[in-house]
Amino acid sequence: MVKIALAVSFKTVSNRQKLYWCLKG
In the chain, the amino acid numbered 24 is K
Average pLDDT, integer, range 1-25: 91
Single out the residue of 1, 4, 3, 8 nearest to residue 16, CA to CA: 8
pLDDT at 17: 94
Q: Where are the domains of the chain?
A: 1-25
In the chain, the amino acid numbered 2 is V
3-state DSSP assignment of residue 25: coil
- Mean pLDDT of the residues in the chain: 91
In tens, the pLDDT along 14-23 reads: 999 999 999 9
pLDDT at 18: 92
Q: Over 90: is that where the pLDDT of 1 sits?
A: no
CA 21 distance to own-chain centroid? 12
Interatomic CA distance for residues 25 and 22, integer angstroms? 5
Give this prediction's pTM: 0.49
Percent of the chain's residues with pLDDT above 90: 80
